[in-house]
Amino acid sequence: MQKLSGWWRLWVLSVLAWTASVAGYCYLSWPATTYAAHNPAFIDQLSTSRRALLVGKNESTEGLHVKMPNEYILRFKPDVEQDAAEKVAGAYHDISVRAQDQSNQTRAKRFLVIALLPCLAVALLGIGVAWVRKGFTEQRS
């Protein structure tokens, strides 16, 4: 097995330091919740029959109110029963969890690119410089 030169050792050390710092930042900035903050699109993703149970913009809000884990309050029409409201709340919660999962996947891909791309770029730059340098030293011989 060929030993690594000093430059490759420096590259390995810098890759480890860089990826550790990116992983630390990723860990510290990762959302603590399993659900996303409210987005009006969540209501649009509910089925038409479930959306019909919710209070519209200009309607009275005297019906049942359900506070969701993401702090959004679902307001139901006065004649909506508890069972129906729970089904709508469950569907809304599923939508917010799915949205957070998609956001987390995007965040993980972004951190992976941020961690790996600079490392590969530095390695390719180093290989390129070594190749060019070797070309000049071979011409002298």
Tens digit of each residue's pLDDT (9 = 90 or more) over 27-36: 999 999 999 9
**Mean pLDDT over residues 75-83, rounded?**
91
Is 14 within the bounds of a domain? no
Residue 44 lies in a domain: yes
Is residue 65, in this structure, part of any structural domain at all? yes
- Show the domain range for 76: 20-110
Residue 15 inside a domain? The answer is no
Provide the domain count of the chain: 1
In a domain, 124, yes or no: no
71 dihedral zone (left: phi>0; alpha: psi -120 to 50; beta)? left
The answer to whether position 135 is within a domain reads no
Whether 118 and 18 have beta carbons less than 8 Å apart is answered as yes
Distance CA 83, CA 87 (A): 6
User: What is the reported pLDDT for 137?
Assistant: 85
Residue 101 covered by a domain: yes
What pTM was computed for the model?
0.77
pLDDT-derived band of residue 44, with 50, 70 and 90 as boundaries? very high
| 50, part of any domain | yes
Per-residue confidence (pLDDT) for residue 140, from 0 to 100: 64
